[in-house]
């Protein structure tokens, strides 16, 4: 039973345009959400997070939006750059971020020059 779903396995966008990566979750106990980025042959690295008490968190070109009623979050990258090409994992946890993470399958983003 997949509790964190990233239903689109891949996304391709033009450099300079917006990338929107989607994530859905089913567990109502999740209250903290994170995005990790992974390059080939490297481990994932933390990108951005959001608590359930917020509906938006922004860090430079990266913004995460949370819609609790829809159990949906999205990562926006504006403008997209070729260096953003990577696998992006959505992850969720409960207990205000202090329980173990549940990851989605990941989305492969390709940014075309």
When asked if residue 45 is in the footprint of another protein (CB under 8 A), the reply is yes
- Residue 31: strand, helix, or coil: coil
Q: How many CB atoms lie within 10 A of CB 100?
A: 8
Spell out, one character per residue from 24 to 43, where the chain touches another protein: x when CB under 8 A holds, - when not. Answer: --------x-x------xxx
Distance, CA of 81 to chain centre: 17
When asked if residue 1 is in the footprint of another protein (CB under 8 A), the reply is no
Spell out, one character per residue from 5 to 24, where the chain touches another protein: x when CB under 8 A holds, - when not. Answer: -x------------------
- The residue among 13 and 91 lying less far from another protein, judged by its C-beta, is 91
How many residues bind to another protein according to rule CB under 8 A? 22
Q: How many CB atoms lie within 10 A of CB 43?
A: 7
Cα–Cα distance between 75 and 58 in angstroms, integer? 10
């Amino acid at each position: 039973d997949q509790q964190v779903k990233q239903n689109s396995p891949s996304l391709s966008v033009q450099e300079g345009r917006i990338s929107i990566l989607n994530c859905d979750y089913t567990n109502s106990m999740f209250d903290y959400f994170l995005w990790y980025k992974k390059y080939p042959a490297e481990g994932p690295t933390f990108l951005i997070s959001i608590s359930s008490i917020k509906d938006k968190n922004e860090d430079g070109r990266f913004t995460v939006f949370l819609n609790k009623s829809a159990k949906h979050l999205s990562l926006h990258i504006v403008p997209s750059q070729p260096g953003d090409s990577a696998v992006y994992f959505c992850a969720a946890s409960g207990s205000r971020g202090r329980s173990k993470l549940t990851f989605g399958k990941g989305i492969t983003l390709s940014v075309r020059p």
